[in-house]
Amino acid sequence: MASDAFCFLSLFLSRYPQYASAPFHIAAESWGGHYGPHIAHFIHRMNKESDIANPLAIPKINMTSVILANGLTDPVIQFASIPAYACGSSPYPPFDPNGPECTALARNTPVCTAMIEACYEYPSNLTCSPPTSSCWRNFMGAIISTDRNSYDLRKVCDENSSICYEETIGIEKWLNAPSHKRALGVDMGRDFAMCNMTVNAAFYEHGQAMLNSAALLPELIDAGIRLVVYAGNTDFVCNYMGIEQWMRKLEHIFHPEFGKAPSRRWYTIKSGLLGGEVRTAGQGAGNVTFVQIYDAGHMVSHDQPEAAADMIMRWIKNIPFIP
């Protein structure tokens, strides 16, 4: 995937060289917690190689920042955070801390994290597929057995949609209308789906869900490529606690500053809306920044559009979150 993305971008910039010097930001959400770092790291590596030899005159991609949204990036830390999040630390805890679900989550955590650590140390289908099936079943199965929307604990899951959101039904219907397919040049034999389960299954079967993609980020940060990771605080699937924990553990040139930085409330420029909390290291909006979005789930821009737009605007323009 990373090489394909790089090839596409190189061809695009070769065709439209006027955009080659523009700042390039990679934004990825959910599964993008894995493929975002991989694409960014591949581009960075190819840029370095072009400094040494570039016989085809391929334009360099002006990698500026990586933006990760409610992603799965460091599974061992993120799965280990689920019991605390689900059993008391979430703004809307789905389980009784003394109930059977929390007892089972606590019991399954050491086994799950040990399996993921084996995947980190010896990555292969043999080591990474078992934790994919086991951890997903034992941890995500707990919330799926309730009526809660696992992407937003404030809500009940819409049973008629593929991913709990009623809007997805309309999106699929609109994109699959023959007139719209013709206008977009889409093969009439292909249908759009909000979640392509064939691709999803391939990710799982190859154990890619349990790889440590966070390990690719320090090299980028140390090279001056900025990183912002944000998470809605009502998302169960990729909870904000686990995401912030792996960010605090990450070793890079801004690690000491980020570790000492307080988590501070931030308000939008447009209306003064309390957007959430920010922890940042570096100048402006930060070189390494974590943003917790209040009352938002996995789909932050859907749940809190003003806060999401304010955050992205500040990041792109490098405007501090806290005046």
In a domain, 167, yes or no: no
Q: What are phi and psi of 27, to 5 degrees?
A: -120, 130
Nearest alpha-carbon partner for 17 in 50, 81, 60, 79: 60
Q: Domain range spanning residue 20?
A: 2-74+221-317
37 and 109 share one domain: no
225 and 308 share one domain: yes
Tally of structural domains, the chain? 2
| Mean pLDDT across 285-296 | 98
28 and 107 share one domain: no
In a domain, 169, yes or no: no
pLDDT of 234: 97
20 and 108 share one domain: no
| Mean pLDDT across 128-146 | 90
94 and 66 share one domain: no
pLDDT of 195: 83
In a domain, 180, yes or no: no
Could you tell me whether strands 274-281 and 264-267 are parallel, antiparallel, or unpaired per DSSP bridges? antiparallel
Model confidence over 235-282: pLDDT tens digits? Answer: 999 999 999 999 999 999 999 999 999 999 999 999 999 999 999 999
In a domain, 54, yes or no: yes
Report in angstroms the alpha-carbon separations of 13 from 50, 64, 195, 226: 15, 16, 30, 22
pLDDT of 203: 78
Task: Report the distance separating Cα 215 and Cα 112, nearest Å.
Answer: 20
Under the banding of pLDDT at 50, 70 and 90, the label for residue 163 is: confident
**What percentage of the chain exceeds 70 in pLDDT?**
98
In a domain, 57, yes or no: yes
Q: Which of residues 183, 210, 237 is at a domain's end?
A: 210
Task: Report the distance separating Cα 70 and Cα 93, nearest Å.
Answer: 18
Residue 53 reports pLDDT greater than 70: no
In a domain, 288, yes or no: yes
Angle, CA of 160, 71 and 27, to the nearest 5°: 105
Domain of 286, CATH number, reads 3.40.50.1820
To the nearest 5 percent, what fractions of the chain are helix, strand and coil?
50, 15, 35
Biggest CA-to-CA distance, the chain: 65
Could you tell me whether strands 148-149 and 152-156 are parallel, antiparallel, or unpaired per DSSP bridges? antiparallel
pLDDT of 59: 81
In a domain, 181, yes or no: no
Measured over the CA atoms of residue 242, residue 243, residue 244 and residue 247, the dihedral's sign is positive
Q: Strand, coil or helix: what is 267?
A: strand
84 and 143 share one domain: yes
| Mean pLDDT across 296-310 | 97
In a domain, 192, yes or no: no
Q: What is the pTM of this model?
A: 0.94
| Mean pLDDT across 132-151 | 90
Residue 161 reports pLDDT greater than 80: no
pLDDT of 220: 98
10 and 82 share one domain: no
pLDDT of 56: 63
270 and 292 share one domain: yes
Nearest alpha-carbon partner for 300 in 240, 244, 242: 240
Q: Which residues are catalytic?
A: 30, 235, 298
Under the banding of pLDDT at 50, 70 and 90, the label for residue 57 is: low
